[in-house]
Homo-oligomer: A and B are copies of this chain.
């Protein structure tokens, strides 16, 4: 494994256990058997490390499922696939999305903009599919920006209440939200 990946994995693990603010870089270095100077060789600051973790998680879990979803020609199937996979692969395996969303406030403005650009692709994927359904008379005449935030809200709120020790609940949860959201919209 690449050294940066190893550092990101370990740092995320420590942030999840003790909190981002409460974990000094010196503890991250120690857990990896590195000196603090050794860690600074890879990341110029704690903010830089947080950004790299966030971007890497997006590249590993969010972008591949966006790209898979984009292959569905039917807009309703595209939304269903995206919501389902987002719940199964991003929201329910562990609480890392919660941490990353909450700590976005600690990112520098330019880094935040780069992260938001990736999240925005998920927003656009859903919204464009809903507009396509509406144009084809297959969805109601609703405000599709609000509807898109509604779908993302149902899915993302999971990190506030999900019991991660009950992984077997995830597929039923995904089916329930896809069913409610898509049936709620369609004519």
Which residues of A come within 8 Å of B, CB atoms?
Answer: 101-102, 140, 142-143, 146-147, 149-150, 152-158, 160-161, 172-173, 176-177, 179-185
Contacts and interface: CB of A to CB of B under 8 A. Distances in A.
12 contacts: A101-B160, A142-B180, A143-B176, A149-B158, A150-B176, A150-B177, A153-B153, A153-B155, A153-B158, A179-B184, A180-B181, A183-B183
Contacts of A161: 149
Given A156-B153, A157-B156, A172 B184 contact: no
A156 B158 CA distance: 11
Contacts of A142: 176, 179-180
Contact of A147 (B147, B155, B156, B176): B176
Instruction: In the A-B complex, list the 9 residue pairs whose CB atoms are closest, starting with the nearest.
Output: A153-B157, A184-B184, A180-B184, A150-B154, A146-B176, A153-B154, A183-B184, A153-B153, A146-B173
A168 to B, nearest CB: 13
Given A156-B157, A157-B157, A180 B150 contact: yes
Given A142-B176, A184-B185, 10 more contacts: A140-B179, A146-B172, A147-B176, A147-B180, A150-B154, A150-B157, A153-B153, A153-B154, A153-B157, A183-B185
Contacts of A102: 102
A176 B150 CA distance: 9
A146 to B, nearest CB: 4
A156 B146 CA distance: 13
